[in-house]
Amino acid sequence: MKPLQEISDAQAQQLMSLLHDGELSPEGAERLNEYLQSNPEAIDWLENLDATSDLEQSCPTPSQKAEAVTTIQESIAAEAKAPSAGGNVLLRFPTLFRPIAAAAAVAVIGTVTWLGLRPSATAEFEPNIVEFVASDIPDSSTYVYSDEESGWTVVWVDSDSGEFDSQG
């Protein structure tokens, strides 16, 4: 038997794919067998095809996913309609702690309201402390400015890479 013509790795992978799909011709099978005899490490690629195929087959189909979602939605709806056995939960504080709890609640609400209504001092009075930014990008320019609306310092890097040459 005369040896068959040598094939490249890409051609061997194509033959393995045809073998996996059941479309490999007898001549292609002989070429692939000869290739695998001389390159046993290439069998890993064929095994990866099998593993990928097995994984794809084990994944649920879209109809199975839709059925699972419907089941979950029905369970949630049924539980929402069912009356709760425990009823409402009522917390009772001892008489001594009621005034303390009320004072703490008023203090928290007052603090949150006061902090929310006062003007933001940080955005208006802090100076822009960023003056220069270095960039590792060749032929680039950096711009630093403060956005008055948000109070943020913005750093803009503009690269003149020459891709849009006006002469060409």
Per-residue pLDDT of the chain in tens (168 residues, 90 and over written 9): 445 567 888 888 888 888 878 888 988 888 888 888 888 888 888 788 777 777 777 777 778 788 888 888 888 888 877 766 556 666 676 788 888 888 888 999 988 888 877 665 555 555 667 777 787 888 888 888 888 887 788 888 887 765 444 443
Q: Tell me whether residue 104 is in a domain.
A: no
- Examine the fold and report which residue of 80, 103, 135 is the final residue of a domain before the chain moves on: 80
| Same-domain status, 6 and 76 | yes
Domain with 51 in it: 1-80
Q: Tell me whether residue 26 is in a domain.
A: yes
- Examine the fold and report which residue of 80, 99, 116 is the final residue of a domain before the chain moves on: 80
Burial class of 123 by CB neighbour count within 10 A (0 to 12, 13 to 18, 19+): middle
- Provide the number of structural domains found in the chain: 2
Q: Tell me whether residue 113 is in a domain.
A: no
Q: How far apart are CA 10 and CA 13, in angstroms?
A: 5
- Examine the fold and report which residue of 80, 99, 117 is the final residue of a domain before the chain moves on: 80
Q: Tell me whether residue 165 is in a domain.
A: no
Q: How many CB atoms lie within 10 A of CB 12?
A: 19
Q: Are 154 and 145 in contact (CB under 8 A)?
A: yes
Q: Tell me whether residue 114 is in a domain.
A: no
Q: Tell me whether residue 90 is in a domain.
A: no
Q: Tell me whether residue 105 is in a domain.
A: no
Burial class of 32 by CB neighbour count within 10 A (0 to 12, 13 to 18, 19+): buried
Q: How far apart are CA 96 and CA 76, in angstroms?
A: 42
Q: Look-up: residue for tokens 């008023």?
A: 106
Cα distance between the two ends of the chain: 60
Helix (H, G, I), strand (E, B) or coil at 157: strand
Q: How far apart are CA 137 and CA 157, in angstroms?
A: 9
Q: Are 137 and 157 in contact (CB under 8 A)?
A: yes
Q: Tell me whether residue 140 is in a domain.
A: yes
| Same-domain status, 67 and 137 | no
| Same-domain status, 11 and 76 | yes
